[in-house]
Amino acid sequence: MLQTQLIKKFFSTNQQPLLKGIRVIDLSRILAGPFGTMYLSDLGAEVIKIESFEGDETRKWGPPFANKEDSSYFLCVNRNKKSICLNLKSQEGQKIVHELVQKSDIVAENYSQGVTQKLNLDYETLNKINQRIIYASISGYGDTGPMSQSPAFDLVMQARSGFMHISGQPDGPPTKMGFAVSDVLTGLNLANGILAALYYRQVTGRGMHVKTSLQESSIGSLVNISSQYLNGGQAGRRMGNNHPSIVPYGVYKVKNDEYIVLGSATNDQFKRFCKVIGIEEILSDEKFKNNSDRVKNRVELDEIINKALQNFEAKQLTQLLEENKIPGGNIYNIQQMFEDEQVKHLQMAEEVESTKYPNLKLVRNPINYSEGIKAKMVEPPSLNEHCDYVLSDILQYSQNKINQLRDQKVIL
């Protein structure tokens, strides 16, 4: 209770980032883990990224590259972090992590099964050092079961979770998403689990082991698709851009070989849409009266809609849809999306002051809070940029000791 009172006093007298004072030791690499820890850094947590001497693999995942060393891929999930390179196979390197754990709140990792035990960085070991530590793990398939030892990347998980089977045209091959959706979902789940664990620790004084996996996160996001199978006996299938349970809902061709999207999910929206495109006479047809009827007769309805849409240009129709509060509109490429007036208004792309990356812009955290302030966005770190800060300022190592560790190839 006293701790809660101190927290209330802190936020009542200081407009601070919500996780200011929280320190994260980030042992994760590539995308899922770094995406989750980046969310914590956006909230003000100090994230210390521990890298191998070669660095996070995504530093080299280009082109495009932001400079001679780091790819644009690396930049997207590593803002606000501090980098130190450690030889974790050495006892001295492991000792440094152990000492950091004593002064930290969270550890995040996504090593293959068994690796943390070999490195003496597993939850059981670190929990003995700091019983308040929150240890967050990402795996491919979970840490038990017949697939627990198998490697997994986003593409593989999109295949095994059913994503690819339900994506693409009906007569085409299974299709992956245009970005690493399984990784991103897993990173979000990791951050969500960590925040719940922080509250648990505030109440009990104890940390915990938070675990999620690419497979669990992917399956957990299938929402209506999984429910259709579990509760309706229908396995999802490829439907192109159509929706299994809503019509009209998809991509439609308009004048000049342009395309728009339309999502008419309610009867009222459907009525307004029919009037906008001049097919209000079908509203009296029993085949199209309710959504369930429209689903049954989607082929006939789509033929009527497609014919009527040839009278409209994409920009013209988009304006009409907006005026009549019907969800739909243009299909943007990435450049058009960032140039959209609403996106500019929301300031989703922020310019970040940088000495390393020319004209650096990053997509901001999409969550907005009425209390507290946003942590200032800081450029992603160069490899090993904060080695001296971590060892000198946090662990209070002397310069002589730091030099010895460098000579011993414990640090870079």
Quick: pLDDT tens for 119-131: 999 999 999 999 9
Rounded CA gap, 306 and 260, in Å? 11
Rounded CA gap, 48 and 36, in Å? 13
**Structural contact between residues 364 and 350, judged by C-beta atoms closer than 8 angstroms:** yes
Give yes or no on whether 1-223+348-408 and 249-331 have one common fold: no
Give the pLDDT confidence score for residue 15 in this predicted structure.
76
Q: What is the mean pLDDT of residues 330-340?
A: 95
Q: Please choose, from the candidates 32, 44, 162, 80, the residue with its C-alpha nearest in 3D space to the C-alpha of residue 386.
A: 80
Q: How far is CA 93 from the centre of its chain?
A: 30
Rounded CA gap, 257 and 250, in Å? 16
The model's confidence at residue 374, banded by pLDDT at 50, 70 and 90, is confident
Mean pLDDT of the chain: 94
For 356, list phi and psi in degrees, rounded to 5. Answer: -110, -30
Largest CA distance in the chain: 86
CATH match for 1-223+348-408 among 3.90.180.10, 3.10.450.630, 3.40.50.10540, 3.90.1150.10: 3.40.50.10540
Preceding amide of 248 cis, omega within 30: yes
Give the three-state DSSP class for 372.
coil
pTM comes to 0.91
Give the pLDDT confidence score for residue 1 in this predicted structure.
38
* Size of the chain in residues: 412
The model's confidence at residue 331, banded by pLDDT at 50, 70 and 90, is very high
Among 183, 257, 285, 407, the active-site one is: 183
Residue with tokens 């890298």: 51
* Helices (H), ranges, 53-206: 72-75, 91-102, 115-118, 123-129, 154-160, 181-204
Preceding amide of 151 cis, omega within 30: no
Q: What is the mean pLDDT of residues 185-195?
A: 98
Give the pLDDT confidence score for residue 12 in this predicted structure.
57
Give the three-state DSSP class for 297.
coil
Preceding amide of 380 cis, omega within 30: no
378, amino acid identity: V
Give the pLDDT confidence score for residue 340 in this predicted structure.
95
The model's confidence at residue 2, banded by pLDDT at 50, 70 and 90, is very low
Q: What is the mean pLDDT of residues 13-23?
A: 86
Provide, rounded to the nearest whole percent, the portion of the chain with pLDDT above 70: 97
Domain extent listing, the chain = 1-223+348-408, 249-331
Q: Which range among 10-14, 173-177, 239-243, 275-279 shows the weakest confidence by mean pLDDT? A: 10-14
pLDDT in tens, 130-144: 999 999 999 999 999
Q: What is the mean pLDDT of residues 38-62?
A: 97
Give the pLDDT confidence score for residue 159 in this predicted structure.
96
pLDDT in tens, 266-322: 999 999 999 999 999 999 999 999 999 999 999 999 999 999 999 999 999 999 999
Provide, rounded to the nearest whole percent, the portion of the chain with pLDDT above 90: 92
CB atoms closer than 10 angstroms to residue 332: 12
State yes or no: pLDDT of 24 exceeds 50. yes
* Helices (H), ranges, 161-238: 181-204, 214-220, 223-232
**Structural contact between residues 343 and 337, judged by C-beta atoms closer than 8 angstroms:** yes
- Tell me, yes or no, if 70 is annotated catalytic: no
CATH match for 249-331 among 3.30.1540.10, 3.40.640.10, 3.30.70.1350, 3.30.70.1150: 3.30.1540.10
- In sequence order, what are the residues at sequence separation of 6 or more whose Cβ sits closer than 8 angstroms to the Cβ of residue 254? 260, 309, 310, 312, 313, 314, 317
State yes or no: pLDDT of 231 exceeds 90. yes
Q: What is the DSSP letter of 357?
A: S
Q: What is the mean pLDDT of residues 367-381?
A: 90
